[in-house]
């Protein structure tokens, strides 16, 4: 547009002063006007040339003004092409449509606004964290004090319970090992230590106790804890290494625990089994290629028969049946 308007103005009226269309029309006007008095027709033509010269000067001036009014921006084309490329890239990256791009833009603005307030939020979070940390330290200190006070009494009570469970002379202790940082369970790790026999050094219960010992220690702990602890307890081979009156004592404690929670006990001793509220017989059959284990609930006379079998007698043995009934009463 600049080239067109500037070139046209230059052709009509060159700024260099050279002859252009306007100069030539002016010359034609002068020639026609000079002889116009001799003939009215020539005078009329001279007037038309004069009007043409005035229009030529006016058009040339308008073309100059048009050219001057153009706002040239070097590199504008490259800028527009770059924007179009960016536009296409946004479409490809954020959903393929203008709507998806605008939705992403709103999400970015919201995130920007959130980040602008992040400093305030961080200060509030740090203040809250400091408050909770102080509260945690206070609660942990209180818990540590209670643990340190009650640990010896708990150990003594457990030893008394273990004595009744055929672990006479067993030592039990509660060690409190400080943590580097408080955890959800407090500022120290609680370790139960057990010495199953006199003269044996105490070791962590989780590492040194046998299956039967572990069950009996758990039974002792639950007996001391009364209503505390989980609502379901499972004792496997709690009767290992015991019999007679001790087995009866273990059974009594299991029955006491079962008064307000569910207790599952796997046992081979009739003294313990006879005290259960419900009885299940577990049998494994190796017939065929695949061994199968079945669990059947017992009731009525089947319980007496199973107790006889556990006593090592036939269910038809009068003495064994009498003993079984005595255990169940």
In this prediction, residue 146 carries a pLDDT of 94
Q: What is the mean pLDDT of residues 155-166?
A: 87
Is 70 exceeded by the pLDDT of residue 72? no
Tell me the domains of the chain and their CATH numbers: 2-69 (no CATH), 76-116 (no CATH), 125-277 (3.40.50.300)
The pTM for the full model equals: 0.52
Lowest mean pLDDT among 117-121, 182-186, 236-240, 296-300: 236-240
Instruction: Measure the CA–CA gap between 63 and 15, rounded to whole angstroms.
Output: 13
Q: What confidence tens digit (pLDDT) does each residue in 33-64 have?
A: 877 677 888 888 888 888 988 888 898 889 88
Buried residues in 149-160 as b, exposed as e (16+ CB within 10 A): eeeeebbebbbe
Confidence at 131, pLDDT banded by 50, 70, 90: very high
Confidence at 66, pLDDT banded by 50, 70, 90: confident
Lowest mean pLDDT among 27-31, 58-62, 275-279: 27-31
Please give the radius of gyration of the chain, using alpha carbons only, rounded to the nearest integer.
53
In this prediction, residue 326 carries a pLDDT of 84
In this prediction, residue 36 carries a pLDDT of 60
In this prediction, residue 226 carries a pLDDT of 66
Would you tell me how many other CB atoms lie within 10 Å of the CB of residue 252? 14
Per cent of the chain over pLDDT 90 is 20
Q: What is the mean pLDDT of the chain?
A: 86
Is 80 exceeded by the pLDDT of residue 242? no
Contact residues for 259 (Cβ-Cβ < 8 A; gap 6+): none
Element (H, E) at 310: helix 301-310
In this prediction, residue 29 carries a pLDDT of 82
Confidence at 149, pLDDT banded by 50, 70, 90: very high
Q: How far apart are the first and last CA of the chain?
A: 117
Q: What confidence tens digit (pLDDT) does each residue in 73-102 have?
A: 777 888 888 999 998 988 888 888 888 889
Is 90 exceeded by the pLDDT of residue 140? yes
Q: In a 3-state reduction of DSSP, which class is residue 260?
A: coil
Confidence at 227, pLDDT banded by 50, 70, 90: low
Q: What is the mean pLDDT of residues 235-264?
A: 82
């Amino acid at each position: 547009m600049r080239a067109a308007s500037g070139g046209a103005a230059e052709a009509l009226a060159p700024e260099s002063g050279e002859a252009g269309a306007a100069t030539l029309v002016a010359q034609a006007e002068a020639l026609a006007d000079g002889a116009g008095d001799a003939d009215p027709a020539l005078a009329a033509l001279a007037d038309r040339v004069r009007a043409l010269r005035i229009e030529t000067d006016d058009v040339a001036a308008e073309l100059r003004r048009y050219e001057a009014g153009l706002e040239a921006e070097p590199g504008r084309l490259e800028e527009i092409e770059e924007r179009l490329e960016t536009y296409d890239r946004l479409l490809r990256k954020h959903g393929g449509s203008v709507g998806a791009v605008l939705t992403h833009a709103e999400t970015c603005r919201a995130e920007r606004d959130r980040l602008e307030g992040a400093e305030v939020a961080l200060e509030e979070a740090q203040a809250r964290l400091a408050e909770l940390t102080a509260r945690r330290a206070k609660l942990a200190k209180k818990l540590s004090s209670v643990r340190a006070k009650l640990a010896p009494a708990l150990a003594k009570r457990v030893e008394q319970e273990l004595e009744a469970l055929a672990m006479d002379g067993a030592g039990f202790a509660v060690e409190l090992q400080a943590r580097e940082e408080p955890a959800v369970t407090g500022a120290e790790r609680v370790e139960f230590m057990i010495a199953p026999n006199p003269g044996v050094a105490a070791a962590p219960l989780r590492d040194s106790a046998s299956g039967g010992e572990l069950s009996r220690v758990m039974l002792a702990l639950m007996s001391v804890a009364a209503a505390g602890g989980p609502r379901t307890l499972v004792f496997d081979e709690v009767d290992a290494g015991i019999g007679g009156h001790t087995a009866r004592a273990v059974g009594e404690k299991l029955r006491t625990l079962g008064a307000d929670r569910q207790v599952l006990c796997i046992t081979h001793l009739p003294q313990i089994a006879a005290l259960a509220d419900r009885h299940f017989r577990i049998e494994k059959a190796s017939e065929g290629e695949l061994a199968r284990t079945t669990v059947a609930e017992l009731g009525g006379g089947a319980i007496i028969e199973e107790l006889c079998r556990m006593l090592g007698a036939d269910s038809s043995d009068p003495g064994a049946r009498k003993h079984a009934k005595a255990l169940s009463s």
